[in-house]
A and B are shown apart, each in its own frame.
Chain A
């Protein structure tokens, strides 16, 4: 079966000038591949600067790729804003962190939910459009009397619901959510997480769910990819990834999460900051911070390979599938 979204060796580089005026390349996304099945959720996690949001913009065709391919429902995605691009954009939508920035402050929220229908010339007649918008307004759990309100009259959680309703009105097959609940308070964040799950069950769209919060990603994702400095270092089902991380970076990331259950004794403290993507370290990009790095890690960049238990890892120290099978036999 063709996956809804297939990404193959996708990369985005930016030319930058260093402090000394030298021209260099910033590898924001540096060759990532993944696929996402219809109705499923892929969580993308990593720290700031790892390329999560650039990936979102590439996938949506908002940013041209330097290298690689993307196919959405079998059709090549490009960032050329032609007829095909517009047709595809109707089928994939973006929800990002700050709903106030995503909404027009001078328009009642109801009108903003109707707007995509007008832009894409769907649903003839103002009344039919309004009815459709009201339906979605209710689906995201907003009271109809808020329909005529302005964004500043709503709470943060309500605004994010408006953004969701607006994204859903075109009946998208893919929703790219970039930190959709990071700006929300705990009690409201739980409401929106549940809503996202309910909407997926009801409308069947796939989510590319980007977040720095592992706990939220675990809650919502069917599959998780961990990014470090523009590349995927580990990918697999959330339970496997978070309970028995294979890659040392995933392991450090998981152990860094302050939880109520675990003590602090076994926490792995990584030294230093993530390196500058302009000066990507040779070999494995994680080796300068990796507590387990060996000589080979400094010279040879590990590729993302199956580990034999349904996941992928890019680390010289993780046995590959054939080794693991041999060991098990």
Chain B
């Protein structure tokens, strides 16, 4: 992707000087919380998230279902409907977008922030041609019409690796395979020339060889455009593949965040260590898996203190009393755990035998 030339908005341009600044931030979440309405009163689903993303950075969000990894980002972009209450700030290049009126926010969604979801086929309009859907985004976010829009739509389809673009533009989503539809979704996201792409389980519904194609495409586009990426996935492998940094979520909070290599090499939060030990691998000796006992707590039945304590073999009484903040565990690595001293020993992922304490 090239920087906008025909664009009528100043977002990217305004950002460029900021990129040279000492600690630029593309997007920051500050004490961001999300509360759902429930039959027995409000249910906190996301409980105070602090995160920041530098321009061009790729951040992976991992966690099991129900941990709030998708809800955080949907709520940040106000896509969850009226009953949902959020608090805290979401700052895009310094501006708190939670205060923006709907009109202004809708220009950011699909414009400066692109979104793709797990199931591409249901994200597309089944009764509109691919070309119509692409050109709608180009008109709304870039002000392109007629031939200019058509040319740009062709270029975008070509960019995402869809051959025979002129014919494809006239087709409907049902005439495409799942992998092709995900390419179309990526083209739609790119149409707004986003500074940030939020990809929520973008390859989960796809077959292995198609997943490899899509990951490769996202990597390529990022290399070209310098677009930031938030990749939400339950698959640590997928995240490790694309992301510079990873945040692990559990029960509505971030429990650990670090550079990808550090997180995999020496995870410090017992939950992260547990997740890695529970994964079967393709390489190395075949060993019995070490599952995490129990299940994720329901949001309306959150245990007091650290939400992971009931499943954690390192938990002590203090863990049940207070919610641990994200503490500095090593350089550029934070973990929300009172027992960090106990997890400073041998790297868990590479030496599963040393994980006896987790059994």
Say whether B207 contacts A47, CB under 8 Å.
yes
Chain B, Cβ-Cβ closest to A271: B213
Taking a contact as CB atoms closer than 8 A, the residue among B234, B236, B288 that contacts A260 in the complex is: B236
Say whether A257 contacts B180, CB under 8 Å.
no
Interface centre among B209, B281, B283 (most CB of A within 10 A): B209
Known: A214-B282, A257-B208. A269 touches B213 (CB 8 A): yes
For the complex, what is the distance from the CA of A240 to the CA of B353, rounded to whole Å? Answer: 24
Taking a contact as CB atoms closer than 8 A, the residue among A190, A260, A268, A274 that contacts B349 in the complex is: A260
**Chain B residues closer than 8 Å to A193, beta-carbon distance:** 280, 289
For the complex, what is the distance from the CA of A262 to the CA of B240, rounded to whole Å? Answer: 10
Say whether B278 contacts A187, CB under 8 Å.
yes
Say whether A242 contacts B292, CB under 8 Å.
no
Say whether A48 contacts B280, CB under 8 Å.
no
A:264-285 near B, CB below 8 Å: 264, 267-271, 273-274
For the complex, what is the distance from the CA of A104 to the CA of B219, rounded to whole Å? Answer: 45
Q: Is the CB of B264 closer than 8 A to any CB of chain A?
A: yes
B:166-223 near A, CB below 8 Å: 177, 179-180, 207-213, 215-216, 219
- Min CB distance, B313 to chain A, in Å? 13
Say whether B283 contacts A256, CB under 8 Å.
no
Q: How large is the interface on A (under 10, 10 to 19, 20 to 34, 35 or more residues)?
A: 35 or more
- Min CB distance, A46 to chain B, in Å? 9
- Min CB distance, B259 to chain A, in Å? 14
- Min CB distance, B198 to chain A, in Å? 19
Instruction: Report the count of interface residues on B (CB-CB < 8 A).
Output: 43
Taking a contact as CB atoms closer than 8 A, the residue among A189, A219, A264, A268 that contacts B241 in the complex is: A264
Q: Is the CB of B82 closer than 8 A to any CB of chain A?
A: no
**Chain B residues closer than 8 Å to A238, beta-carbon distance:** 286
**Chain B residues closer than 8 Å to A264, beta-carbon distance:** 215, 219, 241
- B214-254 interface code vs A (CB 8 A; 1 in, 0 out): 01100100000000000000111110110000000000000
For the complex, what is the distance from the CA of A261 to the CA of B212, rounded to whole Å? Answer: 16
Interface centre among A258, A262, A264, A274 (most CB of B within 10 A): A258
**Chain A residues closer than 8 Å to B210, beta-carbon distance:** 47, 273
- A250-263 interface code vs B (CB 8 A; 1 in, 0 out): 00111111111110
For the complex, what is the distance from the CA of A216 to the CA of B296, rounded to whole Å? Answer: 21
Interface centre among B208, B275, B291, B295 (most CB of A within 10 A): B208
Say whether A186 contacts B275, CB under 8 Å.
yes
- A188-211 interface code vs B (CB 8 A; 1 in, 0 out): 111101100100000000000000
Q: Is the CB of A76 closer than 8 A to any CB of chain B?
A: no
Q: Is the CB of B316 closer than 8 A to any CB of chain A?
A: no
Q: Is the CB of B274 closer than 8 A to any CB of chain A?
A: yes
Taking a contact as CB atoms closer than 8 A, the residue among B209, B238, B283 that contacts A252 in the complex is: B209
Q: Is the CB of B279 closer than 8 A to any CB of chain A?
A: yes
Say whether B240 contacts A270, CB under 8 Å.
no
Q: Is the CB of B356 closer than 8 A to any CB of chain A?
A: no
- Min CB distance, A307 to chain B, in Å? 21
Q: Is the CB of B38 closer than 8 A to any CB of chain A?
A: no
For the complex, what is the distance from the CA of A268 to the CA of B209, rounded to whole Å? Answer: 9
Say whether B235 contacts A257, CB under 8 Å.
no
Say whether B282 contacts A258, CB under 8 Å.
no
For the complex, what is the distance from the CA of A313 to the CA of B193, rounded to whole Å? Answer: 47
For the complex, what is the distance from the CA of A151 to the CA of B241, rounded to whole Å? Answer: 37
Say whether A273 contacts B180, CB under 8 Å.
yes
Closest CB pairs A-B (n = 7)? A258-B237, A190-B291, A190-B278, A187-B292, A47-B207, A256-B212, A185-B64
B residues at A contact (CB < 8 Å): 64-65, 177, 179-180, 207-213, 215-216, 219, 234-238, 240-241, 264, 274-276, 278-284, 286, 288-293, 295-296, 349
